[in-house]
A and B are shown apart, each in its own frame.
Chain A
Amino acid sequence: MSDTFFTAPPHWQWLVILYFFFGGLAGGSYLIAVLADFFGDASDRVLARLGYYVAMPAVGVGGLLLIGDLTRPERFWHMLVMSERGRPILKYWSPMSVGSWGLLVFGGLAFLSFLGALAESGRAPAALSVLRHGPLARLIAVLGGLGAFFLAGYTGVLLAVTNRPVWSDTPLLGLLFLVSANSIAAAALILLGRWQGVGSSSMARLARMDRWLIVLELLVLIAFVASLGPVARVWVSAWGVLLVGVVLAGLVVPLALHWRPGLFGSLTAPAAAVLVVVGGFMLRVVIVLAAEAV
Chain B
Amino acid sequence: MAEPMGFFTDTTVCIGCKACEVACKEWNQLPSTDGGANTLSGHSYDNTRQLDGIHWRHVKFIEQFAGDRAGGRWLMMSDVCKHCVQAGCLEVCPTGAIIRTEFDTVVIQSNVCNGCRDCIAACPFGVIGTNPVSGTAQKCTLCYDRLQVGLTPACAKACPTESIQFGPLAGLRRTARARVERLQGQGRPRAYLYGDDETILGGLNSFYLLEDRPEVYGLPAAPKLPSRNLVPGSLWSGLGALLVGLVGLVSFRQRRMEENGGKGGEGRRNV
* Residues of chain A at the chain B interface (Cβ within 8 Å): 1, 3-12, 31-32, 35-42, 44-45, 48, 69-73, 75-76, 78-79, 82-84, 89, 91, 93-97, 100, 132-134, 137-138, 141, 149, 153-154, 156-158, 160-164, 167-168, 171-176, 178-179, 182, 201, 205-206, 208-209, 212-213, 216, 220
Contact = CB atoms under 8 A, between A and B. Distances in A.
B219 A6 contact: yes
Contacts of B241: 149, 153, 178
A75 B134 CA distance: 13
Interface string B103-126: 000000001111111101111111
Contacts of B223: 3, 6, 163
A10 B146 CA distance: 29
A137 B114 contact: no
| Those 10 A-B pairs whose CB atoms lie nearest each other, nearest first | A71-B115, A174-B237, A8-B126, A75-B114, A3-B220, A171-B232, A162-B121, A97-B94, A209-B251, A39-B252
Contact of B229 (A8, A48, A160, A179): A160
B10 interface: no
Contacts of B253: 39
Interface residue tally on B, bucketed by range: 35 or more
A175 B240 contact: yes
Interface string B254-271: 111001000001011111
Residue of B121, B127, B129, B269 with most chain A CB atoms under a 10 A cut-off: B121
Contacts of A162: 92, 118, 121-122, 226
B222 interface: yes
A3 B270 contact: no
B50 interface: yes
Contact of B226 (A41, A163, A171, A175): A163
B117 A11 contact: yes
B270 A45 contact: yes
A96 B94 CA distance: 6
Contact of B121 (A39, A163, A172): A163
A164 B115 contact: no
Contacts of A175: 236-237, 239-240
Given A31-B244, A179-B244, A42 B268 contact: yes
A216 B229 contact: no
B121 A9 contact: yes
Contacts of A4: 220
B88 interface: yes
Contacts of A132: 271
Interface of B: 50-52, 88, 91-97, 111-118, 120-130, 135-136, 215, 218-224, 226-227, 229-230, 232-237, 239-241, 243-245, 247-256, 259, 265, 267-271
Residue of B122, B125, B135, B270 with most chain A CB atoms under a 10 A cut-off: B270
A77 B234 CA distance: 25
Contacts of B234: 157, 174
A158 to B, nearest CB: 8
Contact of B236 (A7, A12, A172): A172
Residue of B96, B244, B265 with most chain A CB atoms under a 10 A cut-off: B244
6 contacts: A6-B220, A41-B256, A71-B117, A75-B114, A171-B235, A212-B250
A276 B182 CA distance: 65
Contacts of A35: 245, 248-249, 251-252
A72 B114 contact: yes
Nearest to B222: A3
A96 B267 CA distance: 41
Contact of A9 (B118, B120, B122): B120
Given A82-B95, A179-B240, 17 more contacts: A6-B126, A8-B52, A8-B121, A83-B95, A94-B94, A95-B230, A96-B116, A96-B118, A97-B94, A134-B271, A138-B269, A161-B230, A175-B240, A179-B244, A206-B251, A209-B252, A213-B247
Contacts of B118: 10, 94, 96, 158, 162
Contact of A78 (B114, B219, B243, B251): B114
